[in-house]
Structure 1
Amino acid sequence: MQKNISEHLNNMLLHLHNWNFPVCKLLNDPIDKDEISKMFQKIGLSPPEELIDLYQWRNGTDVKLGTVLDNIHIIPGYYFLSLEDAITCFLSFKDDDRWKPYWFPIFSNGGGDFYALDFSKANGRHAPVIGFLLGEPNQDTEYLSLASMLQTFSECYDKGIVFITAEGYLEMDDEAQADIAQRYNPGLDFWTS
């Protein structure tokens, strides 16, 4: 039986709780489906169901001035944007030549890199995930869907591929993560090259 978005996230959060990682106390409360739909209508986008599921789980991370980025990562190097912050980033980038107007950011490194859903390839339920790296000329599809991305990271947590360093940072064995990502995202060139 395939797990849903919240089950993968709850599994990841369980590990973070066990490590007493600060992000656990900084995740915002969920928002309801009607509010999510209204916010997307304002920017003229129709989100896939898995993105609605994501924000019904939690509304991203409460990031205040002075927040240490390393303390808010939910996946190594990236934190979960609140819907309000994601919309702000989307509106800031949508006319940038490096960004496609149908990409919607969901995870950020705080320095201009994002994981974004590609709404142009959404099928109602899922949309592929783009790894946007600010200084790179090409932006690749890294995951077939948000669900496959979270399934990848959830298993990485379970297998110790995502871990806490002695200094207290969330880290990952990139090669081992790539093996799992390839299994859950078959056919993507990103994981075979």
Structure 2
Amino acid sequence: MAELANATGKRNLMGVTLPTFVLRQRFEQVIDRANERLEAMTHGRYSLRRTDEREGRARRQGLGLVVVDHVPVDTERDPRTLSGGETFLASLAMALGLSDTVTSEAGGIELDSLFIDEGFGSLDSDALDTVMGQLEQLRAGGRCVGVISHVAEMKQRITERVSVRANPDGTSTLTTTS
């Protein structure tokens, strides 16, 4: 059993420890759920795929993901080549994918609240519409979605909100709108 857990047995062709193998499998589940969201938000253009490319290199290289750009044909891209708005969509999809994975577990924790801090300013109006649709689906499904943003267009789209304004004396004023 120790050989199995430590990946020292002769049959361990992948050369990974049992905990690493289990984490990879869980990460694949998160990516699958994230792809459902990302494909919806990008109208089928992008999906994510786990890659082993980073395994032999320094661990500071990130999560071992590539972006698959389906337009015009499936092309793998480094996530660093995404625009700011595309990066926001991929990050949001991963966060929602993780939340969906945890929530769907039998006996899992219910993640009823989600807070998104900024990122909306990097989206064009079409992408913003799509993201707001995804967030509305979450809200309709019983989740509380909190958005922190300085984007003026968001004020028009979100009817129930808490606004924080800084006062000249260093204090803040909270106002609620519903």
Question: Higher strand proportion, which one?
Answer: 2
TM-score (norm 2): 0.26
- Find the structure with the greater CA-based Rg: 2
TM-score (norm 1): 0.25
